Amino acid sequence: MSLRLYNISAGEFFDLIRPIVNIISALISTWVLASARKRFPLYLSLAWAAGSLFLPLVIVPIYLIVVITGRQQIQTPIKYRLALPVLYGVVVVAVFGVMFYLENRSVDAHLRRAIQAKLNNDYLTAGNEYRQALTLNDDAHVHKLLGLTLIDAGNFTDAISELRLAERGGEPDDLIPYYLAWALERLNQNGQASLEYEKFLLTPTCARPEPRCDSVRQRHDVLRVR
């Protein structure tokens, strides 16, 4: 189920706001550390900060209750009290930034964006995301997904090339010859399409009752007559 906001799905919306949420969490955690340094030893201050970073909705209210009910303060010079929180905040924001950068350039991130683009019928974006994923990991299954996306986009020539790469790469999907035949027919390469249909009919998929196989047998006979 998708939440649409200017044609943005719930998943895309979450990916969009997550960096902002991370920065807010880092700022809250930094504030907690700066505040805790006035009241607690260093190790407890760091524990409060870490807790508020990962569980802000749980730890921050507890921390505020503790601060309100206990007024004791540790006399630490302000320059020393603030130096650690500032350094902590810079490090946390930097770590989040690096993690976000790497995650958004991972294979899984490209595949996730490709799937989302296909759901929006944006085959150009989906194809580009699959290609980016392939630059990181030359995977037969991704070649198949790219080939199917290119078929949806009407780019049958490139689709055939990608499906061939998937086949040579060991992609186990029995339907690859079927997809190839369908694309070859769109290019009026009926002889090649007939051969692919024949390969499909010999797969384990067609060894059991399968409506698609029955229609392919009829189509194969038609192409052989031509």
With vertex at residue 210, the alpha carbon angle to CA 154 and CA 152, rounded to the nearest 5 degrees, is 10
Amino acid (1-letter code) at residue 2: S
The first and second tokens of residue 153, run together, are: 């986009």
Give the separation between CA 201 and CA 185, rounded to whole angstroms: 16
Confidence of residue 11 (pLDDT cuts 50, 70, 90): low
| pLDDT tens column, 29-52 | 999 999 888 888 888 999 999 999
Span 77-85, average pLDDT? 70
More confident residue, 37 or 10: 37
Report the Cα 19 to chain-centroid distance in Å. 15
Amino acid (1-letter code) at residue 117: A
pLDDT number for residue 8: 52
Span 179-188, average pLDDT? 94
Span 22-28, average pLDDT? 91
| pLDDT tens column, 127-174 | 999 999 999 999 999 999 999 999 999 999 999 999 999 999 999 999
SS3 of the chain: the string is CCCCCCCCCHHHHHHHHHHHHHHHHHHHHHHHHHHHCCCCCHHHHHHHHHHHHHCHHHHHHHHHHHHHHCCCCCCCCHHHHHHHHHHHHHHHHHHHHHHHHHHCCCHHHHHHHHHHHHHCCCHHHHHHHHHHHHHHCCCHHHHHHHHHHHHHHCCHHHHHHHHHHHHHCCCCCCCHHHHHHHHHHHCCCHHHHHHHHHHHHCCHHHHCCCHHHHHHHHHHHHHHHC
Radius of gyration of the chain (CA): 28
Contact at 8 Å (CB) between 56 and 25? Answer: yes
Which residue is listed with tokens 């992609």? 171
Measured CA to CA in angstroms, residue 40 lies from 45, 66, 134, 145, 153 at distances of 6, 11, 51, 55, 62
Confidence of residue 92 (pLDDT cuts 50, 70, 90): very high
More confident residue, 155 or 104: 155
pLDDT number for residue 104: 80
Neighbours of 50 (CB within 10 A): 16
Region of 139 please: left (phi>0), alpha (psi -120 to 50) or beta: beta
